[in-house]
Structure 1
Amino acid sequence: MKAAVLKSFGSPLIIEDVPEPTIGTGEVVVDVVATRVLSYMNEVFSGERNYALDLPIIPGPGGIGRVRALGPDATRLAIGDWVFCDPTVRSRDDAAAPDIALQGLTAAGPGGMRLQQHFRHGSFAQQMRVPTENVKRLGAITSEEATRWCALGTLLVPYGGFLAANLRPGEIVLVSGATGNFGSAAVAVALAMGAACVVAPGRNETILADLVRRFGDRVRPVNLTGNEDEDRERMKRASPGPIDCVFDIMPPSVSPTVVRAAIMTVRPYGRVVLMGGVGMLGGPGLELPYNWIMRDCITIHGVWMYPPDAATRLIALVRSGLLRLDHTDATEFDLDHANEAVAHAAANAGPFKMTVIRP
């Protein structure tokens, strides 16, 4: 089969023929029809992000495809089923605290690296091998619709954060990083889950106005100044009531003071979700007042990805019509032009934009 292979950091992907994946118990082989390209994949491939990858590897976190082969323990899947391949692979020998690898992208700790050595290859290929529990049925779709269903991979990240925070209908949410790709997805997901409104701070007035255009007056935009105290008050004033939940998805390049300004808008007994990259590339970490956390009974959730059942629940949210996929504009590339797709994703990052490879 044909695949795009990363053989060394700083080098382009090599498009070549590789052996087809073999199947074992607890595994499924999927014919990949469409897979998204993360906007920062170029930084992963260059080594700038210092992601844990045991090279050579076929990259690509998750994708949309059809079941090609099943292991003997699959009881609901069938050959030909349209599925989403969830890239969050968990070890099976410690359910309470599993090791995690993001298939085709990175791994956490020594256990995650061991996991990656088996489920190493991702979706930039014509076929991929996936743990049975990571293959989520989509129902009937067309080949053309596979591209837009790739948006699940982006939407799942904030969905996991809101599940951790137990977001309830009617609550007020603040999304720190609302003008980014994952942040704008967080706005859409929070509203689909029943948030009364979403406070959306940012410096890009055009993107803030677009969020209001897409979702109406349930989005409350806030133009940031860069002054921590002033911005915190602006965000509070924009909210129609106490802010129940703050969701942070700021990238590594952002100052911790910007993140802190947003976090400390949350009401007493409120919840904070941290899914961003503060300090990931070095520099100061996030400092929060101990007394404020303690006296205001603030719950802080550090969340990496989402629980195992999240993809199935999110698919149901889309099928219900509460969460729409047609907000996202996609640009398609074939596998032979994978390097061009990576460059395009980096140059066209932003809300509701997606670059897709169709192997």
Structure 2
Amino acid sequence: MKAMICAAFAPVESLTHGDFPVPAAGPGEVVIDVVAAGVNYPDVLIVQGKYQTKPPLPFVPGSEAAGYIAAIGEGVEGFAIGDRVIAFTGSGAFAEQVKAPATQVWTVPEGVDLEVASGIAITYGTSYHALKDRGALKPGETLLVLGAGGGVGLTAVELGKHLGARVIAAASGPEKLALAKAQGADDLIDYAQEDLRERIKELTGGKGVDVVYDPVGGATSIVGVRSLAWGGRHLVIGFAGGEIPAIPANLLLLKSAAAVGVLWGNMVRADPVNQGANMRQILDWLAQGALRPVIDARFDLSDAVAALQHLEKRKVKGKVLLTRHSAS
């Protein structure tokens, strides 16, 4: 089969498009004919060997995909050949076929576009798990979303509003903030032009925010912690800004606050029942039209290098997809 191949941990430009062995469904696994795959910033790090996990070389990158069930392994129940599904694969999605544990595969409701669904698992899965399970976000609370114009940030804005929170979206630049507004943000902060700390004080009357959703890291994270209200929760999603912050523990103590780690991929493996229920809820909302994913760009599978470079520039507004046809 054709696939994007990572033969050595190196810059994304080193990836090649070529032939790779067809995956076989082992016990508890399914094989999927890939229609489209989501592209995520961790994919950029994985091919460079800079992520928490390193697949054995050579490997096919790509952590999520949508398509049709092509083969079913021993012991798998609840799926049939031809079913429309999405999958969290960890790796292997940038190919014509990919295999995944059946516990990380979910049926896509009729009427939901498979290309759009291909980019749902990681961003929406992360944000829903973060806000519901880790942040215990309640209706009427105030949620601050940092990096609100990116892939996970936009989903956090949308889901936070859907869960009944007041949402403050913080991002750099008017275009990203306009997207966040369209996804339901109540208030906007352009932290390229405004003092983030002072603007949060102004918007909350000095009270601070109940939950911070933070995929950015660096100095911005410290501002987020300082801006927590009493009993606030700071959700550590990632470090797109490149710097892992040293969060001052005294700030958490003084506010009776918590810094909470969120790693959705590991939680899917550790608690597939709860995370499966979360994903089915997300897909139901998608089918009902309650969620409106933002697609930034589509690339052909063979053009995955360009897609990853697009993410590296950190100009992405929404989701980047790889499809099995010409880019549009």
Shift in Å, 1:50:
7.8
Task: Give the paired residue count.
Answer: 311
Q: Does 1:275 align with 2:237?
A: yes
Q: CA RMSD in A?
A: 2.8
Identify which of 203, 214, 230 aligns with 1:238. 203
Q: Secondary structure at the match of 1:19?
A: coil
Task: Indicate if the aligned counterparts of 1:27 and 1:131 stay in contact, CA closer than 8 A.
Answer: yes
TM-score, structure 2 normalization: 0.83
CA gap 1:13/1:315 in 2 versus in 1, 3 angstroms: same
What is the aligned partner in structure 2 of residue 354 from structure 1? Answer: 320
Residue pairs, 1:316-327, within 5 angstroms: 316-325=284-293, 327=294
What is the aligned partner in structure 2 of residue 158 from structure 1? Answer: 127
The CA distance in 2 between the partners of 1:347 and 1:269, in whole Å, is 36
Q: Deviations along 1:65-112, whole A, 9 cap, x unmatched?
A: 11111123222111111111123xxxxxxxxxxxxxxx21xxxxxxxx
Q: Secondary structure at the match of 2:66?
A: strand
Mean Cα displacement is larger for which, 71-80 or 335-344? 335-344
Residue pairs, 1:1-359, within 5 angstroms: 1-10=1-10, 12-39=14-41, 41-47=43-49, 52-87=54-89, 103-104=90-91, 122-141=92-111, 145-152=113-120, 153-163=122-132, 164-195=134-165, 197-212=166-181, 214-215=182-183, 218-224=185-191, 231-239=196-204, 243-250=209-216, 256-277=218-239, 285-290=245-250, 292-305=251-264, 306-307=267-268, 308=272, 309=275, 310-325=278-293, 327-333=294-300, 335-347=301-313, 349-358=315-324
Q: Secondary structure at the match of 1:198?
A: strand
CA gap 1:53/1:14 in 2 versus in 1, 3 angstroms: same
Shift in Å, 1:347:
4.7
The CA distance in 2 between the partners of 1:356 and 1:72, in whole Å, is 30
Q: Deviations along 1:9-59, whole A, 9 cap, x unmatched?
A: 236222222322122221111111100222564454344668623211011
CA gap 1:295/1:52 in 2 versus in 1, 3 angstroms: same
Q: Deviations along 1:98-148, whole A, 9 cap, x unmatched?
A: xxxxx21xxxxxxxxxxxxxxxxx111111111111111112257xx2211
Structure 2 regions of 5+ residues with no counterpart? none
Task: Indicate if the aligned counterparts of 1:158 and 1:185 stay in contact, CA closer than 8 A.
Answer: yes
Shift in Å, 1:328:
2.4
Letter in structure 1 aligned against 2:4: A
The CA distance in 1 between the partners of 2:73 and 2:52, in whole Å, is 34
Shift in Å, 1:222:
1.8
CA gap 1:297/1:39 in 2 versus in 1, 3 angstroms: closer
CA gap 1:50/1:315 in 2 versus in 1, 3 angstroms: closer
CA gap 1:278/1:260 in 2 versus in 1, 3 angstroms: farther
Task: Indicate if the aligned counterparts of 2:145 and 2:168 stay in contact, CA closer than 8 A.
Answer: yes
Q: Deviations along 1:314-350, whole A, 9 cap, x unmatched?
A: 212322332223x3243231x3333333334445742
The CA distance in 2 between the partners of 1:51 and 1:26, in whole Å, is 22
Q: Secondary structure at the match of 2:247?
A: coil
The CA distance in 2 between the partners of 1:247 and 1:342, in whole Å, is 24
The CA distance in 1 between the partners of 2:58 and 2:291, in whole Å, is 37
CA gap 1:42/1:294 in 2 versus in 1, 3 angstroms: closer
